[in-house]
Amino acid sequence: MSVFVSIQLDKSKDEPLYIQLYLQLRQMIEQGRLKPDEKLPPIRKLSEQLKINSVTVVNAYKLLEQHGYVYSRVGSGTYISDNLHNQLHQLEPPETEPFREEEFRLMDQGQIHIRSNTINFASATPTPELFPVEDFKNVLNEVLDRDGGFAFGYQESQGFFPLRESITAYLRYYGIEKTPECIQIISGAQQGIDVLAKALLNFGDCLVVESPTYTGAIAAFRSRGAKIIEVPIEKDGINLEVLEKKLKKFHPKFIYVMPNFQNPTGYCYSLKKRKALLQLAKQYDTLIIEDDYLSELNFSRKKLAPLKAIDHYNKVVYIKSFSKIFMPGLRLAFLVLPEQIYNDVLAAKHTSDISTSGLTQRAFDLYLRKGIWQKHIQYMQKIYKERYKVMSEALENFMPKEIDYHLPEGGLTFWLALPEGCSSNKLYLECREKDVVFVPGSVFYSTQKDSRYFRLSFAAVYPEEIKKGIRILGNTINHLLKNNTKNKKGTNYYTPLL
Amino acid sequence: MSVFVSIQLDKSKDEPLYIQLYLQLRQMIEQGRLKPDEKLPPIRKLSEQLKINSVTVVNAYKLLEQHGYVYSRVGSGTYISDNLHNQLHQLEPPETEPFREEEFRLMDQGQIHIRSNTINFASATPTPELFPVEDFKNVLNEVLDRDGGFAFGYQESQGFFPLRESITAYLRYYGIEKTPECIQIISGAQQGIDVLAKALLNFGDCLVVESPTYTGAIAAFRSRGAKIIEVPIEKDGINLEVLEKKLKKFHPKFIYVMPNFQNPTGYCYSLKKRKALLQLAKQYDTLIIEDDYLSELNFSRKKLAPLKAIDHYNKVVYIKSFSKIFMPGLRLAFLVLPEQIYNDVLAAKHTSDISTSGLTQRAFDLYLRKGIWQKHIQYMQKIYKERYKVMSEALENFMPKEIDYHLPEGGLTFWLALPEGCSSNKLYLECREKDVVFVPGSVFYSTQKDSRYFRLSFAAVYPEEIKKGIRILGNTINHLLKNNTKNKKGTNYYTPLL
């Protein structure tokens, strides 16, 4: 016990006691004063010695464990990690592991160059020929002639005022009535998530995400040292019972959701669940971050208003990206903010990159004002509705009956499930050999290394290729399922999830 | 119409006609030659009189309106603002709290609209007429014609490869030999600082900054829950004795420095201190973040190589911004990374905003390749060397002998000290009454609320205004010092620092 005598906690400090204790224990481990596999004192003992509440010790140990400094053995106690170096590197997969999160994240953004004859159901990003380059070139030049150097000076951190005005007009169309003062321009939705994480999360705070969800959000939240709580998403939205339990227990700072065409599942929240979610946010005094990255691509006749449009308690922070349907490389999006977080978000944006490109903001403002945006959306809807139809029919025709999926009402992706116990990682490897790629489901969970789910996107595939690709995929699955039936032990294909 | 006869536009000038017209109309308003509520001539009439395109007049009027000089009534015309003073002050905080960090941070970036006749020594940002708008417009269009939609797709997170290549050529000129693999493109230096903070700092970690230093860096480090240790900067660089003590005691993750024309002091590190700093970083196994925001503006004959050029132990992370000397609103900068932090930085950049605008990167690449950059730097050097000379002479002529300052060898700012015990906050208030503003020193310290130091910048002031402003400043200081001598108790001006 001798080294623990040196621990000094100061109740008068702003820093919570459990954080103080965590930091001092961490230092002892890093300096080698606590050795690998050495046991930490029992909670009761240490709390008595330090004259603190045992919950404080529990929380400090938990933090150490979350950060890989210790491990616990049930019924035995808490031990210093024996291979600290490996533990701290646990997020990096070894070379042999082919399902690197990074790889799929990049594929999702069309950033990975795959073999040119590969059918790419992984990328959820439109291909360059769909971008309105000529129209945008015209507005760029108009702005340069009009504003000259002013387009390149420092811009107001909150965003170019006329653009914030145009956005209020755009929002009105979706039933959101807000003034330009509530709008913060950001350099893409990812920055929006990151800025909100900065403004809202302190070290050790909790937040809720849908499971599965967008990996970029997980990364931003994790970077703040926050605890991420996963709540399953169902075909009509997040599981409310589980959510309420977690809200009660963890008092999260916010719930991060995508109510329309959720990524990766494509699920939409029912109106009932939308209302219930807002009610829970009010009841448990938490915020909702609504990430709306694609609701323009609605192929159903249902009107799918954003959650923000019925946000009567002012609990919703709305993130709107133009990347997936406009031009991802432009890096432009916006937030609609409830008043109470306005100052914190503005400061976080300023710390992040001072302001978003003035030229981009001014050009996009003109693009909206001239009504070219609406024209472009209609064009994209037409293109994608066709691909969606082709994909739906191909799945209907070529998918074995064992495969479970749900027809989304819009968006760019389908979410499919292999039979229980199957590995979509393995399916991925087989298909890649046949020049068809997609994203295995494990990428969208914060803890799973394999999953029976996988995501197919038609964003970057032409109709005739969609058909061909789905046929290959269907055949591959069929083949594997048959092989598996022959060989019941299942070494080849059926494997327990890791 | 009579006053408009005096307008003279010169098509042979680089400055666009509408900017020329804007500036001349603005001057008439400021000088009271156009009165509140007076109507400006109809667009057609003025364009005929001046023999220019009507679009030029439209654009000039628009600029006046954007900047609060005029207002328009639909169907009636454009009028001089009746309450110009109020309009321009809307962004300024109330009188009772004059030393808001935020206010000065915004002034530093030219984001605050101050009264139009105010001499602005606060902004360290060039004014829009100095930006190479036409040249940049040409490269933008060339890129759009060449790359089409590819300029708008997701870009490689590390940065557009050809730009990273051009940057290695640029770096070679400054004695830094690196491959494109070591370079990370970022959306401005502030993002660079923020991304490095994310990659290198965990909650509770320590880091060292020069004191005083750039506030934007403090904000980013603080946002990570890190402990900031200040080490004083002297005329030849950071205080090495204090630094070594802190390194021993705190094991900081890095030391954040600006070896050339430090912000705010303008000090440059001696070669001896540069070498000693690198040696200390090696000895205490820490990194150095070198923020090079301005070293092109060297007015001395000394060659001031970046620290990175003599970084034989590979301990220096180099941040290079183009904002202060190129176009701040473009949001473009880069990092040169030591190998050991490469993966962490790449992940942090990805989490922050996925990638920097592809269009901006491609256009700037072309701008570098065509050698327009070097031409522009020479132009800026010429402009600023003159202002620097004017400022130096004016300080020599008009500053009371009690004021201590150091002649910097380059950059855009001077750092001055009032006698011990004086408050630059108070001086600021007095000067603002006389329409001269600057940044009080307290802004650049993480803990002080007042300081005897203050920063003067000539980035946004024309030579004749520099002279006038420094004379007013000198007189104000003289007056206050005399008053104070009369009234030894010093309730008026000498006050203990808070």
Query: Most confidently modeled of B39-53, B139-153, B227-241?
Result: B227-241
The CATH code that applies to domain A101-129+375-486 is 3.90.1150.10
**Cβ separation of A354 and B188 shorter than 8 Å?**
yes
Per-residue confidence (pLDDT) for residue A303, from 0 to 100: 83
Per-residue confidence (pLDDT) for residue B105, from 0 to 100: 59
Mean pLDDT throughout A464-482? Answer: 94
* For residue B489, pLDDT beyond 80: no
The three-class DSSP label of residue A15 is coil
**Cβ separation of B187 and A140 shorter than 8 Å?**
no
The CATH code that applies to domain B101-130+375-486 is 3.90.1150.10
State how far residue A146 is from chain B, nearest Cα, in angstroms: 6
Per-residue confidence (pLDDT) for residue A496, from 0 to 100: 39
Percent of chain B with pLDDT strictly greater than 90: 62
* Range in A181-190, A355-364, B69-78, B203-212 with the lowest mean pLDDT: B69-78
**Cβ separation of A152 and B329 shorter than 8 Å?**
yes
Nearest residue in chain A measured CA to CA from B152: A329
* Range in A151-165, A206-220, A254-268, A385-399 with the lowest mean pLDDT: A151-165
| Residue B273 sits at the chain A interface (C-beta within 8 Å) | no
Using CB atoms and an 8 Å cut-off, which of residues 143-202 of chain A contact chain B? 144-157, 187-188, 190-191, 194, 198, 202
Per-residue confidence (pLDDT) for residue B371, from 0 to 100: 92
* For residue B379, pLDDT beyond 90: yes
**Cβ separation of A23 and B155 shorter than 8 Å?**
no
Per-residue confidence (pLDDT) for residue A127, from 0 to 100: 83
A56 band by pLDDT with thresholds 50, 70 and 90: confident
State how far residue B408 is from chain A, nearest Cα, in angstroms: 25
| Residue B331 sits at the chain A interface (C-beta within 8 Å) | yes
Per-residue confidence (pLDDT) for residue B108, from 0 to 100: 64
Percent of chain A with pLDDT strictly greater than 70: 89
**Cβ separation of B350 and A136 shorter than 8 Å?**
no
| Every domain of chain A and the residues it spans | 2-88, 101-129+375-486, 132-371
* Range in A258-272, A320-334, B339-353, B380-394 with the lowest mean pLDDT: A320-334
| Residue A223 sits at the chain B interface (C-beta within 8 Å) | yes
Give the separation between CA B191 and CA A351, rounded to whole angstroms.
8
Structure tokens belonging to residue B327: 């176009």
Percent of chain A with pLDDT strictly greater than 90: 62
The CATH code that applies to domain B2-88 is 1.10.10.10
Facing residue for A187 by CB, picked from B198, B223, B353 = B353
Is residue A39 a contact partner of residue A77, using CB atoms and an 8 Å limit? yes
Per-residue confidence (pLDDT) for residue B169, from 0 to 100: 93
- Residue A415 DSSP label: E
Mutate to test the interface with A, among B109, B154, B364, B376 (most CBs of A within 10 A): B154
Mean pLDDT throughout A65-76? Answer: 75
What does pTM read for this prediction? Answer: 0.80
Q: Is the peptide bond before A162 cis (omega within 30 degrees of 0)?
A: no
Is residue B468 a contact partner of residue B394, using CB atoms and an 8 Å limit? no
Nearest residue in chain B measured CA to CA from A321: B353
| Residue B136 sits at the chain A interface (C-beta within 8 Å) | yes
Establish, for the pair of chains A and B, how many residue pairs have beta carbons separated by less than 8 Å.
206
| Residue B90 sits at the chain A interface (C-beta within 8 Å) | no
State how far residue B383 is from chain A, nearest Cα, in angstroms: 17
| Residue A101 sits at the chain B interface (C-beta within 8 Å) | no
* For residue B82, pLDDT beyond 80: no
The contacts found for B46-53 with CB under 8 angstroms, 24 or more apart, are: B46/B4, B49/B1, B49/B4, B50/B7, B50/B9, B50/B21, B52/B9, B52/B17, B52/B21
**Cβ separation of A149 and B157 shorter than 8 Å?**
no
* For residue A112, pLDDT beyond 60: no
Is residue B338 a contact partner of residue A203, using CB atoms and an 8 Å limit? no
Contacts of A14 in chain B (CB under 8 A): none
For residue B453, report the phi and psi dihedrals to the nearest 5 degrees. -90, 160
State how far residue B460 is from chain A, nearest Cα, in angstroms: 12
Mean pLDDT throughout B407-424? Answer: 94
Arithmetic mean of pLDDT over chain A: 87
Per-residue confidence (pLDDT) for residue B129, from 0 to 100: 87
| Residue B350 sits at the chain A interface (C-beta within 8 Å) | yes
* For residue A424, pLDDT beyond 50: yes
**Cβ separation of A356 and B190 shorter than 8 Å?**
no
State how far residue A419 is from chain B, nearest Cα, in angstroms: 34
For residue B283, report the phi and psi dihedrals to the nearest 5 degrees. -60, -40
State how far residue A219 is from chain B, nearest Cα, in angstroms: 6
Structure tokens belonging to residue B54: 């009507």
A189 band by pLDDT with thresholds 50, 70 and 90: very high
Is residue A65 a contact partner of residue A72, using CB atoms and an 8 Å limit? yes
From the list A424, A410, A494, A423, the residue with the least C-alpha distance to A454 is A424
Per-residue confidence (pLDDT) for residue B495, from 0 to 100: 42
Question: Which is more confidently placed, A104 or A427?
Answer: A427
Its CATH class, for the domain covering A132-371, is alpha beta
Its CATH class, for the domain covering B151-370, is alpha beta
* For residue A492, pLDDT beyond 50: no
* For residue B214, pLDDT beyond 70: yes
CA dihedral B245, B249, B254, B259 (to 10 degrees): -10
